[in-house]
Amino acid sequence: MTSQRPLHIHILGICGTFMGGLALIARELGYTVSGSDQNVYPPMSTQLEEQGIRLMNGYRAANLDCKPDLVVIGNALSRGNPEVEAVLNSNLPYISGPQWLAEHVLQKRWVLAVAGTHGKTTTTSMLSWILEFNGFKPGFLIGGIPLNFGISARLGESDFFVIEADEYDCAFFDKRSKFVHYRPRTTILNNLEYDHADIFENLDAIKKQFHHLIRTVPSEGLIIAPSCEQHIAEVLEMGCWTPVVKTAIGVEADWHAELIKADGSGFRVHFAGEEQGTVRWELSGQHNVYNALSALAAARHIGILPQDAIAALQQFQNVKRRMEVIVKTKGLTVYDDFAHHPTAIKTTLDGLRKQVGNEKILAIVEPRSNTMRLGVHTQSLAESLAEADQAIVYQPDNLGWDLSQLLQYATNIRICNDLETIIRTIKAETGNDCHILLMSNGSFGGIYQRLKAEL
């Protein structure tokens, strides 16, 4: 590759949160970037187009007529995909996204990685903002768009790079978890539950991948984990060569929080037995308190004083699609939330309930993740909706199981296969002091845009 023109990278699956972020970083490095996806929709498509990245809707061999120097293939692509087959038949150089990132961005940088089943995006955003607020100008790659930055990824201007470290696999030709490529020095392990049932046979298979991550953390690094997470403790017991600090709420730990408000919107931070300051913010839920403690601990590892990190958290604006208010009118508040696992749904609803008291909550769920679509969490999904006065679970035509199975575990759930009916139900709550919580990790049939327009 000795051409004088900028190297051209073509990304398959470019509108995924990870691959889209990678595209932004490649563009910043000076590469010509194009990409294709079958789900080209905002906010990622808008973000990419604003950066001058050419998007192609749908996968086809003709997308490669631009003759890229390298194809980066996302983990959503598999053999049989026409563009994948064209890459292989044309003998084009190809690589996975995590490997490209490791080789071209992360080498020789201090990587701060955030892993876990839940809270990765929010914690990564918090930590990136703490570094930014304190003048560190970090690079980052986040599985969402933090409102403090307005972009999901950037190269940064310092030795520090903060990354959301996913346990999902890399590509059809590399079935290792993404995070084994990152080699972090500072590692947050938020939690560990069974997820990604499409690629992991059981929880033990996920634990094994997490232990592979732990094996890559240097002995002079740091691992941060909640003291209450038994599955994380079991992974650490498999072998750990790195100092570990623990977080907790209401009990002693290396870092612990003393709640001022039950909904988590205010708490005192203690480190090494001494109070460091108070966080008051717009976020809610004890899960976000744990996220904050982990971010504070990671920031201290690179030299940021707890008081300075707490000052940053006071100005943290959360992440787009994380309890984001999209409509507020006449006694009706509509939230967009990315929660797509029963535990995330439960903790989100718990935080909202503590915030709004006895006001009505209507939870609306699209079971869109691969694990949800397989029906693995039937009972736990039903039970996760207990804090809602009423819950609607959307049954699309192509879902692989009958959602009516949920009804044997809960009485506040109804099943609906019609988006128009869901929209009418939401509109009918206007003026009732009702909180509508929309939960999906996808576009939910464009319901967000409809509600913004019609309400």
Task: CATH number of the domain at 330, please.
Answer: 3.90.190.20
Partners of residue 269 on adjacent β-strands: 257, 277
319 part of a folded domain:
no
Domain count, the chain: 3
Q: Is residue 103 part of a domain?
A: no
**Are 36 and 85 found together in one domain?**
yes
Average pLDDT over residues 433-441: 87
Q: Where does residue 201 rank: exposed (0-12), middle (13-18), buried (19+ CB within 10 A)?
A: exposed
Cα–chain center distance at 3: 37
High-pLDDT (> 70) share of the chain, %: 95
For residue 316, give the nearest of 289, 334, 342, 355 by alpha carbon: 289
Task: Give the C-alpha separation, 162 to 185, whole Å.
Answer: 11
Give the pair of three-digit tokens for residue 299: 């920031």
The pLDDT value recorded for residue 323 is: 80
SS (H, E, C) the chain: CCCCCCCEEEEECCCCHHHHHHHHHHHHCCCEEEEEECCCCCCHHHHHHHCCCEEEECCCHHHHHHCCCEEEECCCCCCCCHHHHHHHHCCCCEEEHHHHHHHHHHCCCEEEEEECCCCHHHHHHHHHHHHHHCCCCCEEECCCCECCCCCCEECCCCCEEEEECCCCEEECCEEEEHHHHCCCCEEEECCCCCCCCCCCCCHHHHHHHHHHHHHCCCCCCEEEEECCCHHHHHHHHCCCCCCEEEEEECCCCCEEEEECCCCCCEEEEEECCEEEEEEECCCCCHHHHHHHHHHHHHHHHCCCCHHHHHHHHCCCCCECCCCEEEEEECCEEEEEECCCCHHHHHHHHHHHHHHHCCCEEEEEECCCCHHHHCCCCHHHHHHHCCCCCEEEEECCCCCCCCHHHHHHCCCCEEEECCHHHHHHHHHHCCCCCEEEEEECCCCHHHHHHHHHHHC
- What pairs with residue 217 in β-bridges? none
First to last CA, the chain: 54
Report CA 248 to chain centroid distance, whole Å. 22
Residue 401 placed within a domain: yes
Return the structure tokens found at 7.
């190297």
CA 284 to chain centre: 17
What is the pLDDT at residue 90? 96
Query: What is the residue range of 21's domain?
Result: 8-97
**Is 45 within the bounds of a domain?**
yes
Interatomic CA distance for residues 174 and 167, integer angstroms: 13
Q: Which of 269, 286, 313 is the last residue of a domain?
A: 313
Mean pLDDT, residues 411-422 taken together:
87
* Pair (120, 56) in one structural domain: no
**pLDDT tens column, 363-400:** 998 887 655 555 556 788 888 899 999 998 888 777 76
From 279, 313, 347, the end of a domain falls on: 313
Q: Which of 233-247, 324-338, 346-360 has the highest mean pLDDT?
A: 233-247
Residue 175: name the closest of 203, 215, 142, 208 by CA. Answer: 208
Alpha carbon distance 367, 403 (integer Å): 9
pLDDT band of residue 4 (cuts 50, 70, 90) is low
Q: What is the pLDDT of residue 68?
A: 96
Note the pLDDT of residue 369: 63
**Residue at 75 is within a domain:** yes
Q: Are 345 and 439 in contact (CB under 8 A)?
A: yes
Same-domain check for residues 266 and 121: yes
In-domain check, residue 272: yes
Q: What is the CATH number of the domain that holds 302?
A: 3.40.1190.10
**pLDDT (average), residues 425-441:** 85
Q: What is the mean pLDDT of the chain?
A: 90
- The strand order across the sheet containing 244-249 reads 153-154, 139-141, 160-164, 110-115, 186-189, 222-226, 244-249, 255-259, 266-271, 274-280
The whole-number average pLDDT for the span 187-215 is 87
Residues 163 and 299 in one domain: yes
Identify whether residues 328 and 422 lie together within a single domain: yes
Q: What is the pLDDT of residues 316-341, one digit of tens each?
A: 998 877 788 888 888 889 888 877 67
Residue 379 lies in a domain: yes
Q: Identify the pLDDT of residue 2.
A: 43
Query: pLDDT (tens digit, 9 = 90+) per residue, 100-113?
Result: 999 999 999 999 99
Task: Judge if 271 and 148 occupy the same domain.
Answer: yes
Do 59 and 166 belong to one domain? no
Is residue 2 situated within a structural domain?
no
pLDDT of residue 144: 84
83 pLDDT higher than 50: yes
* 238 and 340 both lie in a single domain: no
Hey, what amino acid is at 81?
N
Q: What local confidence, expressed as pLDDT, does residue 451 receive? A: 80
Q: Does one domain contain both 177 and 309?
A: yes
Instruction: Spell out the residues 6+ positions from residue 322 whose beta carbon is closer than 8 angstroms to its own.
Output: 121, 122, 144, 337, 338
Same domain, 58 and 188: no
Q: Are residues 366 and 442 in the same domain?
A: yes
To the nearest 10 degrees (0 to 180), the angle between helices 286-301 and 306-313 is 140
**Does residue 361 sit in the same domain as residue 293?**
no
Identify the CATH number of the domain in which residue 90 sits: 3.40.50.720
Q: Residue 34's pLDDT is what? A: 96
Q: Given the structure tokens 């059809």, which residue do they identify?
A: 172
Selection from 141, 132, 155, 11 nearest residue 69 by Cα: 11
Domain boundary among 251, 280, 313: 313
441 closest CA partner among 376, 372, 384, 362 = 372
